[in-house]
Every structure is written in structure tokens, then in C-alpha cells.
Chains A and B, each alone.
Chain A
């Protein structure tokens, strides 16, 4: 084995992380092995362990992504959906980590914990700034709706929703987001 220079080490780390995201995304948490991730990159599993620790640690590192939601305080209620939906599309379509996490969260308690942490730390505090009352109910159903859209459109690829254009989906999702976050309490 040759000694790798620092620059190669950081490239290898990056390669391992993207291989891990692909594996976790396609196969879920339980079925992904460190050995398979290592093989994808052409390194030994021991190297993956040296860089990242256990599979759980690797997953946490691979799933360490940020959702860039703005503070919604003082935003015109009619603009809430229009501000949020493009951010959601960005997470769903441009960051394979989220779908990896979502797939894995349905079968793995570790992945479910990570998803809950992302929701609690990055999503809920921003959404709450838009809500006039009943934050638990509003944020809870909003989270369910967003996870449902991502699951049916990108994971199940259910034809009726997967074939809608972004514009069409935005048009139909906007009144729901409006109702849940800022609409009258039922």
C-alpha cells in the first residue's frame, strides 16, 4: 500500500462519502455494508473505519446535510408556500442525501433518529416562525405532507404524482401548505 498524501486523503474521504450516500440511498441503512462502500471507492474497509468509525458514524456523516430554510417571521402568509416549495425541491432533487436518509429511515432506527434530528433542528424552528398558533399541529401535519410528497414522487415514483411538472405540483401543493402553516385553525 502506498502512503497517500493529504490531498488524496481528503479526496478519498469525499469519494467514500458519496459512495456511502449512493449505497444508503439505493439499499437502505441495514443492507449497506462498509465493505461494499469501500469496494466502490477501491479502498479497504479498514480505511473506511479509520476515517469514519462504525457504519452508524458513516451514515451520520453522509447524512449530515443542511436544509436552507429562511426565517419566516413577518412573511406575507400568501407568500409562505412560494418561498418554501423551491427549497423543498432543491433538497429532494439536488441533494441525494435526503432521499438516502428518507429510504433508510423507514427501516433503520439510526436513520430515523437522524431524520428526526434534522427535522427538529433545521426544519421545525424555521417553519414555526410562520405559524400564528398551534405550532405542534401545524408543523406536524406539514412535516407529514412534505415527507409524503417526497416519498410518493421520488421514492415510490407513483405515476400520478411523479409525472406532474414542478409547476403543476407547486400549484396544487401551495394551498395545502398555506392552510397548514398559516390558514385558520380548524
Chain B
């Protein structure tokens, strides 16, 4: 084995993470092995362990995504969708970690729990700042709407919603965000 220079190590780490996302997305968490990921990259499984630790650790790193939501405190109700959607688009359409996690979560308890945990710690507090009451219901249905948009636009594909431009989608999603987050509580 040749000694790798730092630059190669960084490339190898990146390659391992992409291979891991592909494997976790198509095979789920349980079926994916460190050995298979290592083989995809042409390295030894021991190297994967040295870089990332256990399969659980590698999964956490490979599917960690950043969602930067704006502060919604005092936001104009009609502007909430325009404030949120560009951040959501960035995650659905440009972040392979999120899509790998969503795919894996469809068949894996570990992955689903990771996604639920992310929603609870990184998304719920932001949405909560906008809600006047019934926080659980408002956040739960907003998350459902957002995950549904992500799934139908970026994962399943070729459904009618996928043919809408971002602007058109935002226009139609706006009343839904407004109703769910700040609209009158249904009787």
C-alpha cells in the first residue's frame, strides 16, 4: 500500500461518503455493509472504520444534512412560504445527504428515527416560533406537507407536482403553510 498524501485522504473520505449514500439509499441501513462500501471505493473496510467508525457512525455522517431555516418570529403570515420554501428547495434538490436519508428511512427503522430526530431538533423549534397554538398538530402537518413535496418532486419524480416551477409551487403552497402554521385552529 502506498502512503496517501493528505489531499488523497480527503478525496477518499469524500468517495466513501458518496458510496455510502448510494448504498444506504438503495439498500437501506440494515443491508448495507462497510465491506461493500469499501469495495465500491476500492479500499479496505478497515480504512472505512478508521475514517468513520462504525456503520452507525458512517450512516450518521453520510446522511447529516444542514437545514438553515429563518427565524419566523413575528413573520407576516403571507410571507412564511416564501421564507421557508427556498431553504427547503436547497435541501430537497441540492443535498444528497437528505435524499439518501429519506430513501433509507422508507425501509429502515434506524434511518427513520434519524430523520424524525432531525425534524424534532432542527425543524420543529423554528416552526414553533410561528405557531400561535396547537403546536404539535401544526408542526406535524407542516412536516408531512414538506416531506410529501420532497418525495413527490425529488424522489418519486414525474408526478404532476414535479412539472411546476418553483415560483408556481410556492404560490400554491403559500396558503397551505399559512393555514397550517398560523391559520385559525379548525373547529
Contacts and interface: CB of A to CB of B under 8 A. Distances in A.
Contacts of B51: none
A157 interface: yes
Interface in B120-151: 120, 124, 134, 136-141, 143-149, 151
B67 to A, nearest CB: 15
A146 B141 CA distance: 11
A103 B169 CA distance: 25
Given A116-B156, A143-B160, A103 B137 contact: no
A180 B172 contact: yes
What DSSP secondary structure best describes chain A's contact surface? helix
What DSSP secondary structure best describes chain B's contact surface? helix
B119 A158 contact: yes
A108 B141 CA distance: 26
B107 A28 contact: yes
Nearest to B31: A31
A35 interface: no
B82 to A, nearest CB: 12
Interface string A38-75: 00000000000000000000000000000000000000
B144 A152 contact: yes
A153 B144 CA distance: 8
Nearest to B134: A172
B146 A148 contact: yes
A180 B140 contact: no
Closest 6 CB pairs of A and B: A148-B148, A140-B161, A140-B160, A160-B140, A161-B140, A144-B148
